[in-house]
Structure 1
Amino acid sequence: MNLLITGATGFIGLAFCQRLFNDPTLDFQTVYATIRDCTKSNSLPSEVKPLLVNSLQDWRELFSSLPQIDSVIHLAACVHQKTQHPDEMYKLINTDYTTALAQAAAKNHVKRFIYVSTVKVIGEGNCESETCLPYDESTPPRPTDAYGLSKWNAEQALIDTAVTSELEVVILRPPLVYGPGVKANFLRLAQLAQSGLPLPLGAIQNKRSLIYVENLIDAMLTCITHPQAANKTFLVSDGQDLSTPDLIKKIAVATGYPCRLFSVPPAVMELAGICGDALGKALGLPLPISSETLTKLTGSLTVDGSKICHDLGWHPPFTVEAALAKTFEKSFGNQTAK
């Protein structure tokens, strides 16, 4: 089987490529990977054949110089865009490039196209209480920002392409993905957890779905070959929803640092966020404490991943505890609690 991976030097893509050549049970004849920067090809396994792609025309002509590709794993995306016109960049990279690649894949008789989308096509949070219902595949999409909208529009373009061709499309919608080398919000939370500082987060009663990068990769590999995956959309997660305090406690255990949580009333945290907003605006720079940050710490976003389990017989191979241990075994080491 010949495989094409886009976004291969990203967080998920690099882990996927490493899995392909570290797992003796996998047998792919040739693996091609798109890159936007030649210098980043050094991070890929030597067996991967890099392809430089930087324009819409490049995506349209990608298959012209390649042998028959059996499956495409499409990970390339624009996520945290801080340019002057971010909406345009999200549309170009996430929607237009994806559409061009899918149409080219269909034209060149690619059998299956695996698209890693995001739970953000559905929304940013689904409940405020213990009785909320998790997102599932029947939940109407209501993206709340340009990124989520661009991924939703890409999903629709893929479905349209599948309807008018023989290309089989599989869409995966993961929540927050974590693992070795993770950055952004998860890394910041981990740094807080291992700081040893008392954190006023003990009273938070939210729930969050997450997925370990190796669990996501395992689901992707299942979707490449499973006949029942064709033309379906799946929500995927670790299968264990956690509150922010529970996650901090598990990170502390995984890193060997003490966990110090205390509780403050929600109104106090809300006031702290408002003060952070005002101070950040006055200073002209974002502060660690803001309403947006606290919403991410206190809000709930859960998914029901039972469909992929039922339809494909897939179950996440790593527990949350094992996943967190692997995530931090190199970056934090195994510190002795103090």
Structure 2
Amino acid sequence: MKAMITGATGFVGQGVLERLNQQAKWVPYLALRRPPSAEAIQAHSYTLVGDITPETDWHDALIDCQAVVHCAARVHVMDDPEVDPLAAFREANVAGTLNLARQAAESGIKRFVFISSIKVNGEQTSADRPFQADDTPAPSDPYGISKHEAEQGLLALAEETGMEVVIIRSPLVYGPGVKANFASLMRWLQKGVPLPLGAIHNQRSLVARGNLVDLIVTCLDHPDAANQIFLAGDGEDLSTTQLLRRMGQALGKPARLVPVPAGLLEAGAAVLGKRDVAQRLCGSLCVDIGKAQRLIGWQPPISIETALQETADAFLNEQNTLQAKDATP
């Protein structure tokens, strides 16, 4: 069977592509915005579709496919330069997604797997009340709102056309090759930079890319996944302090953490206009993966320890490669 993947050059999409290459049931087919530069992507069949808009033509990419994994999206960014961020998110994440889904239904696609975000549930939980898959959505930023609206449109389209939709909401994804804030934390830990995060008693859910990909592939054809919403996670929550300590161990660089009270950090961040950063570092955001466990028998196959070690090893290898290049005359 053939599965079309969008966003195959992105962090999650690359993981889906690698996983499908390791099994014989599904053959990946890529829908790309521009010609690929990576050799691993060039080796696959693909169609160039350009940007994801309400007018994008997906029909050539959908030929002979039985499923779609839609990873591509306009992603959440800090300090968004758009004058109207919500309109920009809606253009790609709502109108663009529903345009793809309608063409998928017309092409006879049986199942559409949509990678959404835990931001649809909200921004914060109490440590003892994790988000549930069937909670009332409460998105608060433009990205989360756009993902929620896309979910609503997809479920309505599923009811109208009979195409099966699976929605997977993910918290922060990490793993080998991770970039952005997670990579920055590893750089600080490797350099031995003291961090004022030694007294944070929150609880945060993360998901290793390998675990998220396993859930995605499971949902490609599990009969009980049809028209369901699942939350992804590692099945274990960590405080920011615990995460940094485990990351330091994986890097072979014990974390140098200063025990500054969370309230003081949050007050300082508010003064600096970084309230969102403090909320992610000090607040709790927990997810309950129980629905996926009960309904489709899914269990995260990779432990946090293993995933962090794999992430750290890849980071260190990359650093060593860069240092070797810099040392070459």
Fold shared per TM-score above 0.5: yes
Is 2:201 the partner of 1:196? Answer: no
CA contact (8 A) 1:255 1:333 kept: no
CA contact (8 A) 1:78 1:94 kept: yes
- Mapped partners of 2:318, 2:44: distance in 1: 33
Structure 1 gaps of 5+ residues are 278-289
Change (3 A) 1:256 1:168: same
Structure 2 gaps of 5+ residues are 320-329
Is 2:36 the partner of 1:52? Answer: no
CA contact (8 A) 1:9 1:40 kept: no
Q: 1:306 pairs with 281, 290, 301, which one?
A: 290
Paired residues in the alignment total 316
CA contact (8 A) 2:101 2:154 kept: yes
Change (3 A) 1:40 1:177: same
**Normalising by the residue count of structure 2, what TM-score does the alignment of the two structures yield?**
0.90
Change (3 A) 1:42 1:333: closer
Query: Superposition pairs for residues 1-338 of structure 1, below 5 Å?
Result: 1-21=1-21, 23=22, 25-29=23-27, 31-40=28-37, 42=39, 44=41, 46-54=43-51, 56=53, 59=56, 61-64=57-60, 66-79=62-75, 80=77, 81-127=80-126, 130=127, 132-277=128-273, 290-333=274-317
The alpha carbon displacement at 1:10 in A equals 0.8
CA contact (8 A) 2:49 2:58 kept: no
The DSSP-based 3-state class of the residue aligned with 1:315 is coil
- Mapped partners of 1:138, 1:18: distance in 2: 30
The alpha carbon displacement at 1:42 in A equals 4.5
The alpha carbon displacement at 1:57 in A equals 5.9
The alpha carbon displacement at 1:2 in A equals 1.2
Give per-residue Cα distances to partners, 1:22-49, cap 9 Å, x unaligned. Answer: x1x33324x2212212244655150342
Question: How many percent identity over aligned positions?
Answer: 39
2:326 maps to: none
- Mapped partners of 1:55, 1:306: distance in 2: 33
- Mapped partners of 2:310, 2:164: distance in 1: 34
The DSSP-based 3-state class of the residue aligned with 1:44 is helix
Question: Superposition RMSD on alpha carbons, in Å?
Answer: 2.0
The alpha carbon displacement at 1:9 in A equals 0.8
Letter in 2 for 1:296: R
**Normalising by the residue count of structure 1, what TM-score does the alignment of the two structures yield?**
0.88
- Mapped partners of 1:34, 1:197: distance in 2: 42
Letter in 2 for 1:103: R
- Mapped partners of 1:334, 1:146: distance in 2: 34
- Mapped partners of 1:46, 1:220: distance in 2: 22
The DSSP-based 3-state class of the residue aligned with 1:135 is coil
CA contact (8 A) 2:121 2:135 kept: yes
